[in-house]
């Protein structure tokens, strides 16, 4: 990006995506310390920032590499020389298969249907593709049932062009434990135990299983601490967000990503219209069930409705808002919001000190 002259937030065009540097660095340092105290390697999910500047900070604080969801995320990191990557997605379709074979990143596999074309392409290219067996520990998304993992490993062992490295799960179902921190923590430990159990069964059946990888922000304080787990892949923790605050994973003082917006119209009684809409906030739902984000410091305001570039604020304090008033909105889900933007301002106090590129979006 072109050289950046520091600018006061009051001078920025809105809407603007802001990253608070102090909070970001604290979040990164604390998660690295947590992984170290659990005795696991930290492989953060890159989808949470899609920003190489953030990724380099994570590496500087001890991350071993990254988890990716998309081909574009993998490509961004490889182009930057960051090569220790897990592409935690099934590489399906000719383009993804060719990419997996060419790059040699570790992929996730949960079926023979996914494995066969990949194995054949790798065989033809004279290469081996490393993979993790994805295990469903409760999310109900991709992944084999824990009791089916050994059978799958047995079937996949027929393909010499595939190299089993271990097991992976994403305990995203922990997001459903709203208001139940004990339940969430117990579920996180259970995920670790189930996955470590699967790893033990694989080894007992003669399969290699060097990596036992759990991954989520709500599970970061529990699953990686289970004996036998070797790797943690939290991602959202870099910024946290409204959903993590609602779940109790972080308090609001840790949230590092906000959207700066301004009131642009107060013509409608009791409603203030701002210049942050769906294309600034994303339509990712709140775990609490409603709203497009939380207006920082104004809990009585509800961000109840949004069009593409307009947001509707209602509630007790909406009447007092004036055209031009600046507001910071905490996103429900930071990862979805980042994907809406091509850059974010890095902020110290009330000054934007850098503009960081966001890459690898769809």
Given the rule CB under 6 A, which residues bind ligand PLP?
Answer: 45, 48, 67, 88, 170, 172, 215-217, 233-237
* Nearest distance, CB of residue 123 and ligand PLP, angstroms: 27
Q: 317 exposed, middle or buried (CB, 10 Å; 0-12, 13-18, 19+)?
A: middle
Report the C-alpha gap between 276 and 268 in whole angstroms.
Answer: 17
Q: What is the number of the residue whose Cβ is closest to ligand PLP? A: 215
Nearer to ligand PLP, 170 or 262 (CB): 170
- Min separation Cβ 174 and ligand PLP, Å: 8
Rounded to a whole number of angstroms, the minimum distance from the CB of residue 233 to ligand PLP is: 4
Q: How far is the CB of 48 from ligand PLP (least distance, A)?
A: 6
Burial class (CB in 10 A: 0-12, 13-18, 19+), 189: middle
Bridge partners of 109? 133
| Rounded Cα–Cα distance for residues 349 and 6 (Å) | 12
Cβ-based nearer residue to ligand PLP, 315 or 336: 336
Residue closer to ligand PLP by CB (options 305, 361) is 361
Locate all alpha helices (DSSP H) within 134-220, ordered by sequence: 149-156, 181-204
Shortest CB 359 distance to ligand PLP, Å: 18
SS (H, E, C) 24-40: HHHHHHHHHHHHHHHCC
Q: Which is nearer to ligand PLP, 28 or 301 (CB)?
A: 28
Minimum distance, C-beta of residue 18 to ligand PLP, in the bound complex (Å) = 20
For the beta carbon of residue 271, count every other beta carbon within 10 angstroms: 17
Classify 108 as helix, strand or coil.
strand
Q: Which is nearer to ligand PLP, 45 or 262 (CB)?
A: 45
The minimum distance between CB 219 and ligand PLP, in angstroms, equals 7
| Placement of tokens 């000054």 in the chain | 351
Q: Cβ closer to ligand PLP: 167 or 272?
A: 167
3-state secondary structure (DSSP) of residue 102: helix
Give CA–CA dist 260/240, Å, rounded.
Answer: 17
Cβ 100 to ligand PLP shortest distance, Å: 16
Pick from 164, 152, 191, 193: which is nearest to 175 by CA?
191
**Residue (91 or 235) nearer to ligand PLP, CB:** 235
Structure tokens at 15: 């809407």
We find the least distance from the C-beta atom of residue 126 to ligand PLP, in angstroms, to be 29
- The Cβ-side half-sphere exposure at 286, using a 13 Å CA radius, reads 19
> Burial level of 117, CB count in 10 A (0-12/13-18/19+)?
middle
Tell me whether residue 249 or residue 266 sits nearer to ligand PLP (CB atom). 249
For ligand PLP, the closer CB: 322 or 362: 362
Q: Residue 282: helix, strand or coil by DSSP?
A: coil
Report the run of H or E that residue 58 belongs to, with start and end.
helix 52-60
């Amino acid at each position: 990006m072109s050289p950046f002259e520091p600018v006061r937030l009051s001078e920025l065009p809105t809407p603007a995506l802001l990253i608070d540097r102090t909070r970001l660095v604290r979040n990164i340092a604390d998660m690295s310390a947590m992984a170290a105290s659990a005795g696991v390697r930290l492989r953060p999910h890159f989808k949470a920032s899609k920003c190489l500047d953030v990724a380099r900070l994570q590496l500087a604080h001890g991350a071993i590499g990254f988890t990716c969801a998309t081909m574009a995320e993998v490509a961004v990191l490889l182009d930057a020389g960051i090569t220790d990557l897990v592409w935690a997605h099934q590489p399906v379709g000719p383009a993804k298969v060719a990419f997996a074979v060419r790059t040699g990143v570790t992929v996730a596999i949960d079926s023979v249907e996914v494995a066969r074309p990949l194995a054949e392409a790798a065989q033809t290219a004279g290469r081996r593709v490393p993979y993790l067996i994805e295990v469903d520990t409760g999310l109900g998304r991709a992944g084999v049932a824990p009791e089916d993992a050994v059978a799958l490993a047995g079937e996949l062992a027929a393909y010499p062009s595939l190299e089993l490295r271990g097991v992976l799960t994403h305990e995203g179902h922990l997001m459903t434990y709203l208001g139940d921190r004990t339940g969430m923590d117990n579920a996180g430990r259970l995920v670790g135990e189930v996955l470590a159990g699967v790893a033990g069964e694989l080894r007992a059946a003669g399969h290699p299983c060097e990596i036992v990888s759990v991954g989520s922000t709500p599970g970061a304080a529990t699953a990686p601490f289970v004996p036998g787990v070797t790797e943690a892949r939290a991602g959202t923790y870099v910024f946290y967000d409204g959903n993590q605050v609602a779940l109790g994973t972080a308090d609001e003082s840790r949230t590092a990503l906000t959207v700066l917006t301004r009131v642009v119209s107060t013509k409608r009684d009791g409603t203030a219209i701002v210049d942050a809409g769906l294309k600034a906030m994303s339509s990712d739902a709140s775990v609490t069930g409603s709203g497009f984000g939380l207006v920082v410091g104004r809990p009585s305001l509800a961000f109840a409705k949004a069009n593409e570039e307009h947001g509707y604020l209602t509630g007790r304090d909406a009447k007092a808002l004036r055209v031009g008033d600046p507001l910071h909105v905490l996103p429900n889900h930071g990862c979805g919001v980042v994907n809406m933007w091509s850059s974010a301002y890095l902020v110290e106090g009330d000054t934007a000190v850098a503009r960081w590129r966001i890459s690898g979006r769809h």
